[in-house]
């Protein structure tokens, strides 16, 4: 009996030392992240495409507050330092700085598509963000149109039965005051909830001589509430709602050719404060039909209203600028069926999307004033499927296909006006513009596991950016000419793996993107022989972009993390 107890004690001690060693080894490893880039959960290092993933811990450690804080964390991703009200994103050299047009990089909040970048600069300020994923290259098969360059996904944290309270306050220069808080926990045996809030105030850095005050201030508030109902182990229902209020001031121009000019000094007589009120409601239900099949439904409504003054001359005369009011609402419904049958795993689904977008713009140029109004409607429907099949234990084939139908409609009218936006002579009116677009985009890939820790892959994919009409046309000629779909064929090869006992994680991707009917914002173009003043979105021709991306993450000790992102591109 004593011998047995002694052996047992020795075994416990050995297990204890083994557990300590395992915990220490895991602490020194680069984090193994689960992502949903393929619309189902996979390990980041097992996902055969270029993906960046930042967990909540990394976001907090790096001081991530807003979307432009992602700049520099991913190879081939550029996020210009624009105003928080209109944040552009470029992946592998492709994006758009005109937020009123169709994006080439899709932004998704909890799998709900955000069609325009107005207000997007604030995304990420809420402390309930669990993960941010950046998907490189066309995502047309699983994510649809307007993701021809890639996609950015923000995933919020599900409330659980574990109570959680978190908060922080911050202070900075320009009298900056920021606060964020998160509260989550159980409400009943089957219901849990969470509440996340953020607020920011910061004085402006620019001197406005005409208004006699500092301008360029930041002022934003955001709230998200989530209820999660789990009556059994098969059904998971989540209802979320968010609100964003932005009263920041637009950064006006600093002219160089006036008396008293200087850096961060403007002479504009336009009040730069913008108003943005937006938000949405999302209902998601996941039901496990069996051990192999699950069904998901995502129903979402989102809307915003915005007034944005833009003075592009920076002087107290009406040389160049505009004030625009925007009103958008959207409704979407997606059904998704996912399966995992060992060698075969797949995701298939259907999506219906409707959007209304109204524009009112009062513009001036050399003391001449104009007014335009437009109403745009979009109806889009899509079917998609993508699956992985293990040909051998090491070799996996991926096939995907998406077919879409989209109808764009617009009415537009313009008038001469005065400084007070009083209507004058009508310059154009067009009603009943309509254009249908159809697209079918495939994806094919092969991935090969060289060793248990190294994955290689090659892929071919297509993507599109929606066509439509210029929603803020300067004249009837611009309004009447539809924009064609932008199309891209993308070729990619890559490798990713863990080394040195998972202390080193690396990924390399090389790519070639072939664009046709590339959409560009063209200033003062000639359309059908008619010179057009101003910026117009049109199909500019073909484009070719190729390059390579390198990502390295290193954790030499439990307390030290190092990362390297490097991209080289030619076009």
The tokens describing 101, both together, are: 């047009």
Residue 292 three-state SS? coil
Q: Which of 95-104, 115-124, 314-323, 408-417: highest mean pLDDT?
A: 408-417
User: Measured between alpha carbons, how far is 253 from 265 in angstroms, rounded to an integer?
Assistant: 8
Confidence bin at 333 (pLDDT 50/70/90): very high
Phi, psi of 220 (to 5 degrees): -145, 145
**303 pLDDT more than 60:** yes
- CA nearest to 515, candidates 554, 472, 485, 493: 485
Which residues pair with residue 75 across a beta bridge?
A: none
Map 453-502 to HEC letters.
CEEEEEEEEEEEECCECCCCCCCHHHHHCCECCEEEEEEEEEEEEEECCC
The string of pLDDT tens digits covering residues 41-93 is 888 888 999 999 988 888 888 888 888 888 888 899 988 866 667 788 899 98
Percent over 70 (pLDDT), the chain: 93
Q: How far apart (Å, rounded) are the C-alpha atoms in residues 43 and 340?
A: 15
Burial of 495 per CB tally in 10 Å (0-12, 13-18, 19+): middle
What count of other Cβ atoms lies within 10 Å of the Cβ of residue 431?
A: 10
For 450-468, write each residue's pLDDT tens digit: 999 999 999 999 999 999 9
Q: What does residue 6 show for φ and ψ, rounded to 5 degrees? A: -65, -45
Per the CB < 8 A criterion, the answer to whether 35 and 44 are in contact is yes
For the stretch 334-379, pLDDT in tens is: 999 999 999 999 999 999 999 999 999 999 988 899 999 999 999 9
Distance CA 322, CA 360 (A): 10
> Which residues fall within 8 angstroms of residue 548, CB to CB, at 6 or more apart?
508, 509, 510, 511, 567, 568
Give the integer Cα–Cα distance in Å for 141 and 170.
Answer: 42
Q: What span, in angstroms and rounded, lies between the C-alpha atoms of 130 and 223?
A: 16
pLDDT digits (tens, 9 = 90+) for 174-196: 999 999 999 999 999 999 999 99
- Partners of residue 324 on adjacent β-strands: 308, 361
Cβ atoms 254, 265 nearer than 8 A: yes
pTM comes to 0.90
**Strand-strand pairing, 426-451 and 454-465:** antiparallel
CB-count exposure of residue 130 (10 Å: 0-12, 13-18, 19+): middle
pLDDT digit string, tens, across residues 241-280: 999 999 999 878 888 888 888 888 999 999 999 999 999 9
Do the beta carbons of residue 497 and residue 455 sit within 8 Å? yes
* pLDDT recorded at residue 350: 96
Backbone conformation region of residue 201, classed left if phi is above 0, alpha if psi is from -120 to 50, else beta? beta
Nearest-angstrom CA–CA distance, 556 and 29: 8
Share of the chain above pLDDT 90, in %: 63
- pLDDT of the residue at 26: 64
């Amino acid at each position: 009996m004593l011998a047995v107890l002694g052996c047992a004690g020795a075994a416990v001690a050995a297990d204890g030392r083994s557990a300590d060693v395992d915990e220490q080894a895991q602490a020194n490893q680069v984090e193994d992240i689960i992502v949903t880039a393929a619309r189902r959960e996979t390990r980041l290092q097992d996902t055969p495409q270029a993906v960046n993933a930042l967990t909540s811990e990394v976001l907090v450690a790096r001081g991530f507050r807003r979307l432009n804080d992602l700049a520099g964390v991913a190879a081939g991703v550029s996020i210009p330092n624009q105003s928080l009200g209109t944040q552009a994103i470029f992946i592998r050299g492709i994006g758009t700085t005109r937020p009123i047009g169709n994006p080439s990089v899709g932004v998704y909040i909890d799998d709900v598509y955000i069609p325009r970048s107005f207000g997007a600069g604030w995304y990420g300020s809420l402390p309930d963000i669990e993960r941010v994923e950046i998907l490189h290259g066309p995502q047309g098969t699983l994510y649809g149109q307007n993701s021809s360059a890639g996609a950015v996904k923000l995933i919020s944290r599900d409330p659980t039965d574990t109570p959680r309270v978190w908060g922080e306050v911050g202070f900075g220069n320009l009298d900056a005051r920021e606060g964020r808080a998160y509260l989550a926990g159980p409400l009943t045996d089957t219901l849990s909830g969470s509440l996340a809030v953020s607020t920011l105030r910061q004085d402006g850095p620019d001197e406005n001589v005409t208004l006699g005050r500092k301008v360029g201030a930041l002022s934003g508030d955001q709230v998200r509430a989530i209820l999660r109902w789990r009556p059994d182990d098969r059904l998971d229902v989540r209802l979320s709602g968010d609100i964003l209020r932005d009263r920041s001031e637009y950064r006006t121009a600093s002219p160089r050719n006036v008396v008293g000019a200087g850096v961060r000094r403007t002479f504009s007589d336009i009040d730069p404060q913008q108003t943005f009120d937006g938000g949405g409601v999302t209902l998601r239900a996941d039901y496990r039909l069996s051990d192999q099949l699950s069904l998901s439904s995502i129903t979402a409504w989102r809307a915003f209203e915005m007034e944005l003054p833009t003075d592009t001359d920076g002087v107290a005369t009406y040389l160049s600028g505009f004030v625009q009011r925007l009103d958008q609402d959207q409704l979407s419904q997606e059904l998704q069926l996912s399966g995992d049958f060992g060698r075969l795993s797949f995701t298939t689904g259907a999506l219906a999307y409707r959007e209304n977008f109204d524009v009112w713009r009062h513009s001036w140029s050399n003391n001449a004033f104009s007014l335009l109004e437009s109403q745009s409607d979009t109806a889009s429907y899509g079917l998609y499927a993508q699956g992985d099949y293990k040909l051998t234990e090491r070799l996996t084939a991926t096939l995907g296909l998406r077919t879409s139908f989209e109808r764009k409609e617009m009415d537009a009218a313009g008038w001469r006006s005065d400084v007070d936006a009083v209507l004058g002579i009508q310059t154009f009116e067009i009603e009943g513009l309509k254009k249908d677009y159809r697209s079918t985009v495939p994806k094919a890939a092969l991935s090969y596991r060289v060793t248990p820790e190294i994955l290689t892959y090659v892929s071919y994919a297509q993507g599109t950016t929606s066509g439509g009409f210029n929603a803020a046309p300067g004249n009837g000629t611009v309004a009447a000419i539809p924009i064609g779909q932008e199309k891209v064929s993308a070729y990619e090869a890559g490798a990713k793996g863990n080394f040195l006992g998972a202390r080193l994680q690396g990924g390399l991707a090389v790519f070639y993107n072939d664009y046709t009917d590339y959409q560009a914002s063209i200033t003062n173009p000639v359309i059908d022989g008619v010179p057009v003043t101003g910026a117009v979105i049109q199909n500019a021709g073909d484009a070719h972009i190729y390059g390579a991306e390198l990502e390295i993450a290193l954790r030499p000790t439990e307390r030290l993390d190092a990362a390297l992102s490097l991209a080289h591109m030619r076009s």
